[in-house]
Amino acid sequence: MKTVRTIVAILVLLIPSSVFAQVSYDRLRNSDREPQNWLTYGGNYQSQRFSGLKQITPKNAASLKMAWLYQMRGSGIVETSPIIVDGIMYVTEPPSTVTALDARTGKPLWRWTPTIPRDLMTVGLFPTNRGVAVLGDMVYVATIDAHVVALDAKSGIVRWNVTIANYKEGYAITQAPVAIDGKIITGMGGGEAAAAGFLAAYDAKTGKELWRLHTIPRSPSDPGADTWANNSWVNGGATTWNAGSYDPDTNTIYWGTGNPAPDWNGDGRMGDNLFSCSLIAVDADTGKMKWYFQFSPHETHDWDSAEPPILFDATLNGKPRKLVALANRNGFYYVLDRITGEFLVGVPFVKQTWAKGLDAKGRPIPLPNTEPTVEGNLVYPGLTGGINWTSPCYSPLTGLFYLPAREGGAWYIKGEEKMAPGNSVGMVGGGGGGGRFMTGDDVYVAIRALEATTGKKKWEYKLTGDSWTATLATAGGVVFSADGAGNFFALDAETGKPLWHFLLGTSSRSNPVTYAVDGKQYVAGTAGNNVFAFALP
């Protein structure tokens, strides 16, 4: 093993420094100008997961062939979204390893693995990692034991390593951080273990904490504390466990928050439970909250609002607007004014049976008899929501919002309301209860295209099984995704017509990306413990 490491280190040193180019904030801000790269988790700061590459089209997509495959050394659930910088790909392997690959061949260049504490346990979280951020000459990763680490982009050597929370109190990180001008922004998970949500910023050069915004009250005088009866905010929740977005023009960070705790029993936390199940807009310099929008007040079905929000500009009701859209686990698709947080559009995108609708301000109007019960109460959408962590995408060319929509319901079961902090104890009664999934033909996943400004469905492509893969749109007019059986496929972005598929042979939990090297476009993703790339012959 030492010999292998030495050889890899020598190979890295033989690669010209110019190959590992610096990624300035200006490059990140204008990433759409270099579609050959994939510089952020969502493809750009707006989390649109859209690429300007157009070599692959509906006419030639059927000719895609496997270009290369990289097999990870370990095992575990792989959910990484690759980052590509000038021919170098950075991926994460479970639980928190970072690997640099040659994006032309899949050849490993270096690999860094943290020392994970032996007593680490996660409650409600897979020990996985969804990707890195890049800025300057460094690669940044947030680890499962709640560290943020800066690595040298050329060698993988640790430049700094800071602890942001105590993993023994239930804190864990699985998402990719966001790199902006001189700052690394990260959230955290662990709400099922009574961890209290926060968003924090760190100096990109030193790792010094610059600010921290709590997404749940920490004292009776904190904002939102009056929305938790009997100081029930002590149970934690409102974690920031998925990716966020950023608007450089207004210097605003947009981040979704998770459910209150305990999950399925709200008796001991009466009130709206701010700022759980919300989208928060945050000043990137100060960490002050500009506005919030709560999708599901007093939520009791584990419908987090942590899906990555998508930012775009469009005309709505005859007026040019700066918008933010989010398909929520509660089954509704929302469009808000991203400057003010004003509610503009809210419509169901899957079957839902818990709300009569939304009022003029976007607040849900709950239907009676839809709360979890001891016997189990059938409610739509199901336990995994109308969508889960897998990112949707948006094409500025079609004006469509593409997402993996999850149809089906679940029997929601009410349990004990007690919570206990820390991974060693976790939660009592399943964090307030649990549920039982529906089965049958009414349960399925479909790739759906919605008009981004209205939520109106334009087309859908129904899958034969489950899916835990994000969507990717390109200027070539193609949308990529995969199903749970490992079928990686391409659809016509305008019509949803299937163009091509490839059976990868194992389940995919992927965030597919596209990039180009030497004028050749690749589409890359993961399946099992493999990273793969396809290209035209």
Contact criterion met (CB below 8 Å) for 312 and 46? yes
Q: How many CA atoms lie within 13 A of 187 on its CB side?
A: 32
Closest CA to 81 of 46, 151, 128, 121: 128
Contact criterion met (CB below 8 Å) for 46 and 30? no
How buried is 276 (Cβ within 10 angstroms: 0-12 exposed, 13-18 middle, 19+ buried)? buried
How buried is 62 (Cβ within 10 angstroms: 0-12 exposed, 13-18 middle, 19+ buried)? exposed
| Annotated catalytic residue 226 | no
For residues 223 and 247, give the distance between their C-alpha atoms in angstroms, rounded to a whole number: 25
Kindly list the distances between the CA atom of residue 387 and the CA atoms of 61, 325, 483, in Å, as whole numbers in the listed order: 27, 14, 14
For residues 37 and 58, give the distance between their C-alpha atoms in angstroms, rounded to a whole number: 22
Catalytic choice (102, 247, 302, 483): 302
- Tell whether omega for the bond before 95 is within 30 degrees of 0, i.e. cis: yes
Contact criterion met (CB below 8 Å) for 403 and 471? yes
Closest CA to 173 of 189, 161, 195, 160: 189
For residues 285 and 287, give the distance between their C-alpha atoms in angstroms, rounded to a whole number: 6
DSSP string, 415-459: ----B--STTT-BTHHHHEEEEE--STT-EEEEEEEETTT--EEE
**Which residues form the catalytic set?**
302
